[in-house]
Structure formats: structure tokens, C-alpha cells
């Protein structure tokens, strides 16, 4: 007599009811009929009319930095979606999703060693802030006082400074809720850190759902007037395991205007119309159009894009990326007024990405949802000022699909 087949999934949720197995076979609670499909590893339970839900979080040591352990957290779902991130910088090291043939591969850039994150500065997968983007000459005025921030980018302040939020170890709490898993990161940024005023309490929440969605939320409060404008700096490549660059990726952005940059990639304050330019992504276009463009703004960015696009705000998802090679699609929904598109034009260095791929331009694209860069020095831009009686909140949802 043949051995009894084993369930691929030892437990899952069905209509908020626990479903599992015992030593003799299957037991379950619920009012629906279960249908079993034979698979290579036995039988896998599947509901034809209802999606089965299962989430788990696994953690392990990733390395050490400054004498402290760095922990990696992996969220796994039975849809094939996996997210791995660190308590160091809330860095997303891997997002694994299936292609059109069901093959699961990594679609983001990262390092395999903590020292690479500490020693190199592409901001792979990290939360950046307190203020994302460049602040001209690292200076701003607020409440009648002048402030000077750390200058870490050709005399300007970039992504929170020398030791921004990407280079600190956050406290982490984990939660699972039926078809959701949450990683809740908290950090207390002290008054004067990198030159910023105020003691700021920051909470970053990563929520993974059984529908291949990743929600990133930021919350912040302060004890004195300050500025806060955070984003995530994940580099996406939907080909899977970096089989190709993103030059043939198609991108749509619901934006009629983009922000003009000067030669130092600082916003001039002018909003330019996308109509008739390589910056018109409203109906979709290839990333390669920016590489081959003679538009002055593409050239100063290093033959590509490193530009803020002002979102129209009347369409969600506001952004869509697709890879014909793999069939993968990424849709982005946000409450932020802008997105910085960076096509890794300057991605060069003596390091290996994902453990095996040499750094090269156009290997990925970043979609940095946020308020406009250098807003504190541009009166016409949305305010990034946070008051002691206010709360900062930002959300962006990434949904992965196939076509």
C-alpha cells in the first residue's frame, strides 16, 4: 500500500477559519468543500471559489555592524511571494515573485553581506530620510532659525546625510493577521541628528498580503518644528534574478509635469510639461527612450532619468511597470504628490549585486514616492514641515501581477 500523500501546506486559513492536518490525515473547520489537486509533492489543497491564505515570518541573523547583530526577516506567503528585509535601515534585500510561467525569482537589487550595505551607498532597498532627495547646500530656515545639515553629496545634503535612517538599526515588532503579515519598525531620531531639529519618533510598517501586495507606511511625530519627507529606495528589475537591464521595461506614470533640475540635480523650482518630451510616460514608454534622448534634462542626469514627476492625483494606481520578457507587472498606488524616477544611470562600482552581478547602469529603476525634493527651499512646493501637534503619514502600495 502506497504511503499516504502529505499536504504541501501544513495549515492555512479559509474564510477566517483554521484549516490543518493531523497525523492521520486532514481535518478542517469551515463550511466550504475542499478540492485537492495532485502535485509533485503530494496533494495541495485548493479552493476553486475562495483563496487560501497563509503567511509566516522567519528571522535569522544577517551579520553584525558596530558590534550589534543585524537581523533579516522573511515574510512568506503561499502565493510564491516572499519579502526579505533587515532591521538595519529597514532595507528590503529581496522580493521574490512568480513570472508568467510560475517561476519565482528576485526582482530587486541588494547585497548578500552587511558590510556591503555599510560600505557602499546606492541605498539599495532602504528607507531614506529624515528628508529624501537633495537639499541645496545642506541649508534651510525654519521658525526664524537657520539650520545646516550634513553635506554628503558634492556640497549638498542627500537622503538624510552621512548616517541617515538607512544606516541605523531599528526596533522590530512582527504581526500576522489572517492573510497579512506586518513588520513594524520604530526608531527615535534624536534632536540634532545629521543637523535636523527635534526629537522625532518614526514608525515604518511593511504589510504583505496574500494578493502579492506590499504596503509601506510611514508615521512620524516631533517635539519641535522640523521637516520630514521619507521614501523607500528599492531598485526594481522585473526580468527576475537580473537577467537583463530595465531598458526594455515599459513604464507608465500619471503625470503631466516633471521638475526641472540644475546641473547638481537640485530642483530649480520650475515645473515642465511632459508633452512632446521623453518625460511623457502617460501612455507608457520604454526606459531606453531616456538613455538615447538628446533632451538636456536626460543628459544632465547621466543619459536617463533622476527626476521628480508631479503626480496628477486622480488615478490609482498612479504608476505601472511591465517586463515583456517575464510577464511581470508592478503597479504602484500612493498618497504622495510626486515620484522620483531613477533609472540607475550612475550605478557603477567595484561590488557585486545580489552576490553575482557586477554593477552597471540601467540595471534597475527606483520609484521614490514622496513630496517634492528640496521643498523646504522652494516656496511653491508642498510643505514638508512637521509641527509638534501634527503627525506625518505616507503610504505606498506595490502590487505584483503577471500578464
Report the pLDDT value the prediction gives residue 121, as an integer from 0 to 100: 78
Tell me the average pLDDT across 307-329: 97
Report the distance separating Cα 272 and Cα 262, nearest Å: 13
Report the distance separating Cα 224 and Cα 387, nearest Å: 6
- Residue 401 pairs in a beta bridge with 329
Q: What angle do CA 313, 314, 319 make, to 5 degrees?
A: 65
- Residue 89's pLDDT band (boundaries 50, 70, 90)? very high
Whether 352 and 358 have beta carbons less than 8 Å apart is answered as: yes
170-188 pLDDT, tens digit per residue, is 999 999 987 899 999 999 9
51 catalytic, yes or no? no
Report the distance separating Cα 367 and Cα 308, nearest Å: 10
> β-strands 134-135, 235-236: how paired?
unpaired
pLDDT at position 18 over 70: no
Report the pLDDT value the prediction gives residue 90, as an integer from 0 to 100: 99
Report the pLDDT value the prediction gives residue 386, as an integer from 0 to 100: 99
Report the distance separating Cα 169 and Cα 191, nearest Å: 17
Report the pLDDT value the prediction gives residue 179, as an integer from 0 to 100: 85
368 catalytic, yes or no? yes
Given the residues 233, 249, 307, 372, the one annotated as active site? 233
Domains and CATH numbers, the chain: 1-52 (no CATH), 55-232 (2.70.98.10), 244-374 (2.70.98.10)
- Residue 140 pairs in a beta bridge with 147
Report the distance separating Cα 86 and Cα 223, nearest Å: 28
Locus of grid cell 503530494:
42
Q: Regarding predicted confidence, which is higher, 226 or 32?
A: 226
Report the pLDDT value the prediction gives residue 52, as an integer from 0 to 100: 56
pLDDT at position 54 over 90: no
Could you count the other beta carbons within 10 Å of the beta carbon of residue 121?
Answer: 16
| DSSP codes, 295-313 | -HHHHHTTSS-EEEEEE-S
282's grid cell:
502617460
Burial class (CB in 10 A: 0-12, 13-18, 19+), 362: buried
Locus of grid cell 478542517:
28
294-317 pLDDT, tens digit per residue, is 999 999 999 999 999 999 999 999
- Residue 145's pLDDT band (boundaries 50, 70, 90)? very high
Q: Which of 254, 292, 293, 291 is nearest to 274 (CA)?
A: 254
Given the residues 94, 105, 193, 368, the one annotated as active site? 368
386-398 pLDDT, tens digit per residue, is 999 999 999 999 9
Report the pLDDT value the prediction gives residue 12, as an integer from 0 to 100: 41
- Residue 210 pairs in a beta bridge with none
pLDDT at position 41 over 60: no
Report the pLDDT value the prediction gives residue 178, as an integer from 0 to 100: 77
pLDDT at position 15 over 90: no
Region class of 349: left (phi > 0), else alpha (psi between -120 and 50), else beta: left
Report the pLDDT value the prediction gives residue 128, as an integer from 0 to 100: 98
245-262 pLDDT, tens digit per residue, is 999 999 999 999 999 999
Report the distance separating Cα 78 and Cα 38, nearest Å: 16
Whether 136 and 269 have beta carbons less than 8 Å apart is answered as: no
98-140 pLDDT, tens digit per residue, is 999 999 999 999 999 999 999 987 999 999 999 999 999 999 9
Report the pLDDT value the prediction gives residue 276, as an integer from 0 to 100: 97
Amino acid at each position: 500500500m502506497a504511503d499516504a500523500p502529505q499536504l504541501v501546506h501544513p495549515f492555512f486559513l479559509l474564510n477566517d477559519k483554521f484549516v490543518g492536518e493531523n497525523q492521520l490525515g486532514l481535518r478542517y473547520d469551515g463550511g466550504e468543500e475542499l478540492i485537492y489537486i495532485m502535485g509533485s509533492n503530494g496533494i495541495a489543497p485548493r479552493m476553486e471559489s475562495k483563496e487560501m491564505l497563509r503567511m509566516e515570518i522567519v528571522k535569522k541573523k544577517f551579520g553584525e555592524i558596530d558590534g550589534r547583530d543585524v537581523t533579516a526577516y522573511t515574510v512568506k506567503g503561499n502565493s510564491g511571494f516572499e519579502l526579505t528585509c533587515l532591521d538595519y535601515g529597514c532595507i528590503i534585500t529581496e522580493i521574490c515573485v512568480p513570472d508568467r510561467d510560475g517561476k519565482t525569482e528576485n526582482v530587486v537589487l541588494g547585497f548578500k553581506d552587511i558590510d556591503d550595505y555599510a560600505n557602499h551607498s546606492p541605498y539599495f532597498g532602504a528607507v531614506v530620510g529624515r528628508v529624501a532627495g537633495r537639499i541645496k547646500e545642506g541649508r534651510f530656515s525654519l521658525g526664524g532659525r537657520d539650520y545646516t545639515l550634513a553635506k554628503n553629496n558634492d556640497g549638498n545634503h542627500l537622503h538624510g546625510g552621512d548616517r541617515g535612517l538607512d544606516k541605523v538599526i531599528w526596533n522590530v515588532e512582527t504581526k500576522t493577521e489572517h492573510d497579512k503579515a506586518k513588520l513594524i519598525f520604530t526608531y527615535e531620531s534624536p534632536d540634532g541628528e545629521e543637523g535636523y531639529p527635534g526629537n522625532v519618533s518614526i514608525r515604518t510598517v511593511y504589510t504583505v498580503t496574500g494578493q502579492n501586495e506590499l504596503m509601506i507606511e510611514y508615521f512620524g511625530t516631533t517635539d519641535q518644528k522640523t521637516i520630514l519627507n521619507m521614501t523607500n529606495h528599492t531598485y526594481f528589475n522585473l526580468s527576475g534574478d537580473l537577467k537583463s537591464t530595465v531598458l526594455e521595461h515599459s513604464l507608465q506614470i500619471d503625470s503631466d509635469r516633471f521638475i526641472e533640475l540644475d546641473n547638481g540635480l537640485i530642483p530649480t523650482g520650475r515645473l515642465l510639461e511632459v508633452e512632446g518630451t521623453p518625460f511623457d510616460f502617460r501612455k507608457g514608454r520604454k526606459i531606453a527612450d531616456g538613455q538615447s534622448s538628446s533632451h538636456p534634462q536626460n543628459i544632465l542626469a547621466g543619459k536617463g532619468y533622476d527626476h521628480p514627476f508631479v503626480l496628477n492625483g486622480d488615478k490609482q494606481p498612479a504608476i505601472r511597470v511591465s517586463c515583456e520578457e517575464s510577464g511581470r507587472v508592478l503597479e504602484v498606488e500612493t498618497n504622495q504628490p510626486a515620484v522620483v524616477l531613477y533609472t540607475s544611470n550612475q550605478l557603477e562600482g567595484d561590488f557585486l549585486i545580489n552576490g553575482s552581478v557586477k554593477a552597471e547602469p540601467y540595471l534597475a529603476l527606483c520609484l521614490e514616492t514622496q513630496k517634492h525634493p528640496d521643498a523646504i527651499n522652494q516656496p511653491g512646493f508642498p510643505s514638508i514641515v512637521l509641527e509638534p501637534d501634527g503627525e506625518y503619514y505616507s503610504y505606498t502600495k506595490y502590487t505584483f501581477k503577471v500578464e
